[in-house]
Amino acid sequence: MPTVRRLCHDFLDRQGLTTVFGNPGSNELPFLADLPDGFRYVLGLHEGAVVGMADGYAQASGRPVLVNLHAASGSGNAMGALTNAVASRTPLVVLAGQQVRPAIGPEANLASVDAQTLMKPLVGWAAEPACAEDVPRALAQAVFEARLQQRPTYLSVPYDDWSAEAGDNAPAVLDRRVERASVPGGEQARALVERVADARRPALVLGGDIDSAGLFDDAVRLAERLGGPVWAAPSLFRLPFPNRHPQFRGVLPAGIAPVSEAFEGHDLVLVLGAPVFRYHEYLPGRYLPEGTRLVQVTEDASAAARAPMGEALVADPGAVIGLLLRSLDARGEPAGPYRPAPEPLTADGPSLHPEQVFAALRDELPEDTAYVVESTSTNSAWWRQMDLRRQGSYYFPAAGGLGFGLPGAVGVAMAQPGRPVVGVIGDGSANYGITALWTAAQHRVPLTIVLLRNGTYGALRWFGGLLGVPDAPGLDIPGLDFTRVAEGYGVRAQHVGGVEELRAVLAERPDHPRLIQVDTALTTPS
């Protein structure tokens, strides 16, 4: 009779979850014992960085990833990073170690009391098996729930369960398959096609799920068939459409009134693969202009249920895009040429304007480079200068919490070793996931981190201005030298001054991780 550990290892192998991101504690060692040769354990030095790396890896690979955390303390350390994985609908399977069963009730040290509720409501499903024999089935449910819900799941397992016998019925999980098909029915399809075909001035809003699902090019074809303007949904975490395409109008502002203003004159707004909407700044007003109808298509049933207006269809956006492409005639003239980027702004003094940095990235790096961005204060400069035309080119912290960017870049680079990956990280956010540099060095990940140092939390200064509190304490962070920090973790680093030096450094193609620190002038996000 196989042990629970052996059976679970076999199940994970069959499901393709052979890369494990973790930071082990005593409760996790029995699960990690005898890990098969085909598995890869990616060690992170802090649980927040562990989840960030796994999040980036899962998004870039398009597959669920196993995360191994230490009881309640390690799970707690990971919660901030987990918020981004939840908002980006990343299918992480979080497996946490628990004390031995006899020690849980007395609350022995490292026991996780009421473990299944610890991570709620962040995760889509959480459990602690009632007995050792149920562990393989519960692990299978954690994997399938993560896939079906596109959301992290959490399983707490007492560490004495791993060496127990699995039971006669447990091997049945090895051959399980759980799949989902979500295609509009006949009447739903007819009504949707008619609504879009009858619209005089349709507008298209695309969410990050379009890029996550591999629908980037299909979205371009649909937009060109419809002929109207295209926006990216607010609070964007993946880019679903080429940002210099002639039909692209940018990322919708994250406020009620400005979103409504953007839709003026459009009788139909078709939202694909996005919530309606993830506002940020509280700018009240009408949700939609008079006479404008909104139709949302999403696989996220919760997003459909909580939307404050419009109609919603819970279905596969890819199936809907295919249906519309087959059913609609092209409108108007074909799309024109892509818009060129403007000349970058310059800064007074020795610091570079962020636009100069982004123009250098655009010109010196390959066109298929994937960028993981966590520099909110330079958002406006980023979109003015970048030219992103390929799927999987842009990753951003989906929940707005700092700490995803640097670990996420490590994870994306590990998942796509044949694609150039660059992390564009602000000096404020870098501190949250800095330990990921060590993992990058240990695995010799060919990753470039461009560290933008302006000595302040620029996005907070901008938001403070909106709130009328521009001089709040704690907004400046002077005295940080990330070149020395990076070298301490084993990553080669240098500080560059002028734009020509930056371009020369970016033109190099090292096969190891590196950090480039650039002093930049303070700008505003929008």
pLDDT at 455 over 70: no
> Which one, of 339, 172, 369, 378, lies nearest residue 245 by Cα?
339
Across 95-120, average pLDDT: 90
Amino acid at site 368: D
pLDDT for res 174? 87
Most confident of 104-118, 135-149, 411-425: 411-425
- pLDDT tens digits for range 398-430: 988 889 999 999 999 999 999 999 999 998 889
Q: What is the mean pLDDT of the chain?
A: 91
- pLDDT at position 400 is 80
Catalytic site includes residue 245: no
- Catalytic (active site) residue 9: no
Predicted pLDDT at 93: 97
**Could you read off the pLDDT of 314-338 as tens digits, one per residue?**
899 999 999 999 998 877 677 789 9
What was the pLDDT predicted at 348? 81
Distance (Å, rounded) from C-alpha 239 to C-alpha 206?
A: 9
Cα four-point dihedral sign 442, 443, 444, 448 = negative
Q: Are 81 and 57 in contact (CB under 8 A)?
A: no
pLDDT of 468: 64
More confident residue, 179 or 120: 120
Residue 302: pLDDT band with limits 50, 70, 90: confident
Q: How many angstroms separate the CA atoms of 55 and 404, rounded?
A: 8
Q: Contact at 8 Å (CB) between 390 and 217?
A: no
Is the pLDDT at 466 greater than 60? The verdict is no
pLDDT band (50, 70, 90) for residue 463: low
Catalytic residue chosen out of the listed positions 9, 44, 47, 128: 47
3-state DSSP assignment of residue 206: strand
> Which of the following is catalytic: 9, 22, 28, 411?
28
Amino acid at 137: R
Q: What is the pLDDT of residue 525?
A: 66
Nearest to residue 54, comparing CAs of 404, 298, 365?
A: 404
Give dist(CA 82, CA 361) in Å, integer: 29
The predicted pLDDT at position 472 comes to 64
pLDDT-wise least confident of 163-177, 273-287, 452-466: 452-466
Residue range 171-181: average pLDDT?
79
Q: 17-20: which pairs have CB atoms within 8 A and are 24 or more residues apart?
A: 17/63, 17/64, 17/65, 17/66, 17/93, 17/143, 19/57, 19/65, 19/66, 19/414, 20/66, 20/67, 20/68
Considering the candidates 76, 322, 400, 455, report the single residue annotated as catalytic. Answer: 400
Provide the pLDDT for residue 111. Answer: 85
Given pLDDT bands bounded at 50, 70 and 90, which one contains residue 512? Answer: very high
133 is catalytic: no
Give the active site residue among 9, 46, 70, 266.
Answer: 70
Window from 210-224, 243-257, 380-394, 458-472 with minimum mean pLDDT: 458-472
* 355 belongs to the catalytic site: no
Catalytic status, residue 179: no
In the chain, the percentage of residues whose pLDDT exceeds 70 is: 94
Residue 70 catalytic? yes
The whole-number pLDDT of residue 460 equals 61
Confidence at 188, pLDDT banded by 50, 70, 90: confident
Structure confidence at residue 471 as a pLDDT band (50, 70, 90): low
- Report the alpha-carbon distance of residue 242 to residue 248 in Å, rounded: 7
| Pure H helices in 88-235 | 101-104, 115-118, 135-149, 186-198, 208-212, 216-226
Instruction: List Cβ neighbours of 432 (8 Å cut-off, separation of 6 or more).
Output: 48, 80, 402, 403, 406
Q: Are strands 311-314 and 19-22 parallel, antiparallel or unpaired?
A: unpaired
- Beta carbons of 449 and 395 less than 8 angstroms apart: no
Q: Are 350 and 495 in contact (CB under 8 A)?
A: no
- Beta carbons within 8 Å of 508's beta carbon, 6+ residues apart: none
Start-to-end Cα distance in the chain = 62
Of 249, 245, 256, 250, the residue nearest 281 (C-alpha): 256
Q: Let me know if 408 is a catalytic residue.
A: no
- Determine the Cα–Cα distance for residues 140 and 135; give it in Å rounded to an integer: 9
Which residue among 107, 280, 367, 512 is the active-site one? 280
Q: What is the mean pLDDT of residues 262-279?
A: 94
Percent of the chain with pLDDT over 90: 73
Q: Are the C-beta atoms of residues 430 and 406 closer than 8 Å to each other?
A: yes
pLDDT at res. 194: 92
Residue 177 has pLDDT above 90, yes or no: no
- The predicted pLDDT at position 106 comes to 87
Residue 455 in tokens: 């000595």
